Structure 1
Amino acid sequence: MVAPTSEKAVLILGGCGFVGFHIVNHFVKDQFFSSVAVVSRTAAKSTNRVDGATYHEGDLKDQESIRRVFDQIKPCLIINAACPSPVTGTLGEYNLVTVKGTQCLLKLAQESKDVQALIYISSCTLAKGAEHLELTEDYPLANTDPKSSAYARTKALAEISVLKANKPFPLDKTSPDASWAGYLLTSALRFPIVYGTHDPVGIPACLNALKKGQTNVQLGDGKNLWSFCSAHNACVATSILARRLLGLIDVPEMSHDTKVDGEAFNIHDGESHLFWGYARTVWRLAGHKPNNERLISIPAGLVLALASFLEWIFWIFSLGTKRPYQLGKQQVEYACFTHTYSIEKAKKRLGFNPVQTFEKSLNEAVTWSMENGGWGKKSK
């Protein structure tokens, strides 16, 4: 149970990023919340700004910059979507931002008399191992596997910290002026590959391959499936969880277990697609018409060995500050192995029912990238 309040301000960390932008846009339109504020290192110059939200300079590595925003905004809800790029981020950046930054944010939230709930935007790929087959949320995480990517390991460590910080408000302290200092409801949403407008990584990578004439090359046998998540489904799940944590909506009748605080939830479209089928759909929507292309499949073992070698070379010559952009070990594992996840927990406890508009939503995203991302108009 939460203490009632007339003002429900939301503070979103990383709201200038891809997923963060969509969450900000969604919450600005959500009648349950009085205001939406965004903290980002790029708040002043970002093009991913939403009318109706306020923007504040801040850095998770600088605790005082976040504290100042807390004092100004007095949020009841924190959404942490801040994270270095899963493609180009380094171990040092992940440790500073993902792990230590999240711990800093939790400390400030626990000390605040206003903050009631914190949602961590996590990743399905934090699960242990290179291949994920319909995994549930209780599967072992990557922090127990030294072979897992730095991104997955640090995401796991951050999520563990978030869920351990859950401390529900006492039932006997529900007066409007009750302080939340020392109490905090926490939860995490795990997304797989998210697609939508403003995507700076996935769709541009596909379009870059199209531009270079690489549409006939695939890594692995091409049979690996992925769970994908539209930006819309990601936002809807975040909104539902936020309102559940704050006690603003009733518990779903279909749920026999209603607990959402201290829990993690897999979220996606509710259907799976071939990883390389996703890329080919992007190419088709961008206007590509294959003309008897001879498909070249590079064996997974060979490309993984090459990726491991490149990771080592980059680490040596950049002193650990850079990673290979196109053939990193993590990207190769994504391209060659199945990554599918169960969302039954989210359906039962949150009442989350994903909409399945894969091609329509992907077409909107590809069109946006073609018109706004420097890729030119669609090919005829």
Structure 2
Amino acid sequence: MCSDACLHHLYPKQLVLAMSTQYSVLVVGGAGFVGHHLAAGFLADPTFAVFVLSRSAASSKNQLKGAKYIAGDLTDRPSIKAVVEDVRPTVVVHAATPSPVTGTAKEYECVNFLGTRNLLKCAKESQHVRAFIFTSSSTLAKGAVHDNLDETCALANSDPKAPAYARVKANAEIMVLHANYPKPVEFEAEDASEGANWAGYLATASLRLPFVYGTGDHTAIPGVLNALAEGQTTTTIGDGKNLWSYCSTGNAATAHILLAFALLKPPSQIDASRRVDGEAFNINDGSPFPFWGFPKVCWKFAGYDPKPFPKVTHLPNWFVLSLATFLEWVYWMFTVGTKRPYKLGMQQVEYMCYTHTYSIGKAQKRLGYEPKLDFENDVKKAVEWCLDEGGWRAKLKGNKLVKSS
């Protein structure tokens, strides 16, 4: 996280002193997997008071001591406006989203686009909100193969065949970045005083995250452990060599904190070559890892580590992609578009088949982002959390493939 030493390294002394005043951050979707870790990151920095907005705020088991939880729905603009007026956040972090795997096109449109528009409008009308961070997704890039893409890549909203999640996420990010309108430098002295009015002004930026791993995961790693429970450890789609960019929850949180400070930076302190407002940034661990190697690491920490590893069956991409297309059509027809396949949806299959890697050079240069990489240890902690807290140790007990669980 961003310590005092980190701040003095990134910013001049006078700016660090200005930042010693406590700000407030509203983490929307902060009861979810990624959002919980973002809230924890901000909470660990004494610069910020942390508020969490979530539909499940009252019932969430992810509540952090020291953060205030507020129930709210992004699709209800009047209630969101009331929350923003009550909390008066300096920074809004928008991390709410339906599942990229099981969410429907309608849910994405309601939450990821219309909900983002509601939140963005409320933030811009607020006298107190100065910065808006959109927690975006690397999957918004156009095409099935993403090979070391940077932030100038074409986006999925221009491809009608792209997954709905990617298209809507791209449209939402574009909307957020177009809303960027920071206060000009001539207001800097005025804004240093207490009670400055920020209505109509807003510095916005976006962080594109790939596959995020860490403790508290109820989707990805449980899916991997389910494959182990069902004995699905020897089948691979494609040649199994496709690489992926992964991101630890710690690195995701660090990037959000760095971006928040950068967006709050006084205009006179901004170097034109390092501007961050109105910009998108790829964030990940910086070291790609084989997509099909990730489940093997997870299985190892769950107790599956055969020597030698069994012979793997490789299913051709075309076959599984055709099957996924058929399943999507069947689900759409019989559920009237309200459900999608959990295991073989088109988006999941494309993930399995193709490389998805992204350059973090821009974030390193402009945000001073340097990922901490302890991949296997972080994955081990995440798997152990699923085993102990997620109930998977009991589910795998007695499984012949698991030597110790």
Give the TM-score of the pair, scaled to structure 1. 0.95
Q: Does residue 275 of structure 2 align to residue 259 of structure 1?
A: yes
Q: Does residue 145 of structure 2 align to residue 131 of structure 1?
A: yes
| Pairs aligned (count) | 375
For 2:232, the equivalent position in structure 1 comes to 214
The one-letter amino acid of 2:237's match is: L
For 1:16, the equivalent position in structure 2 comes to 31
Residues 156-181 of structure 1, C-alpha deviation per residue, up to 9 Å, x if partnerless? 00000000000011222232232100
For 2:9, the equivalent position in structure 1 comes to none
Q: Does residue 222 of structure 2 align to residue 204 of structure 1?
A: yes
Runs of 4+ in 1 over 6 A off after TM superposition: 248-252
The aligned runs of 1:1-380 (5 Å cut-off) are 6-33=21-48, 35-174=49-188, 175=190, 176=193, 177-247=195-265, 257-290=273-306, 293-376=310-393, 379-380=403-404
Residues 161-220 of structure 1, C-alpha deviation per residue, up to 9 Å, x if partnerless? 000000011222232232100000000000100000001111101000001110111111
Residues in 2 aligned to 1:332 and 1:213: alpha-carbon distance in whole angstroms: 19
Please state whether the residue corresponding to 2:129 is helix, strand or coil: coil
Residues in 1 aligned to 2:231 and 2:61: alpha-carbon distance in whole angstroms: 30
Contact 1:191 1:266 (8 Å CA) reproduced? yes
Structure 1, unaligned stretches of length 5 or more?
A: none
For 2:397, the equivalent position in structure 1 comes to none
Structure 2, unaligned stretches of length 5 or more?
A: 1-14, 395-401
Residues 7-40 of structure 1, C-alpha deviation per residue, up to 9 Å, x if partnerless? 411101000111000001111111221x100010
Change (3 A) 1:71 1:138: same
Please state whether the residue corresponding to 1:50 is helix, strand or coil: coil
For 2:399, the equivalent position in structure 1 comes to none
Contact 2:22 2:46 (8 Å CA) reproduced? no
Residues in 2 aligned to 1:250 and 1:376: alpha-carbon distance in whole angstroms: 55
Residues in 2 aligned to 1:315 and 1:355: alpha-carbon distance in whole angstroms: 42
Over the matched positions of the two proteins, sequence identity in percent amounts to 51
Residues in 1 aligned to 2:198 and 2:73: alpha-carbon distance in whole angstroms: 24
Give the TM-score of the pair, scaled to structure 2. 0.90
Residues in 1 aligned to 2:403 and 2:136: alpha-carbon distance in whole angstroms: 36
Contact 1:244 1:251 (8 Å CA) reproduced? no
CA RMSD of aligned residues (A): 1.8
Contact 1:193 1:228 (8 Å CA) reproduced? yes
Residues in 2 aligned to 1:167 and 1:379: alpha-carbon distance in whole angstroms: 57
Please state whether the residue corresponding to 1:322 is helix, strand or coil: coil
Contact 1:244 1:250 (8 Å CA) reproduced? no
The CA deviation at 1:294 is: 2.6
The CA deviation at 1:49 is: 1.0
Higher helix share: 2
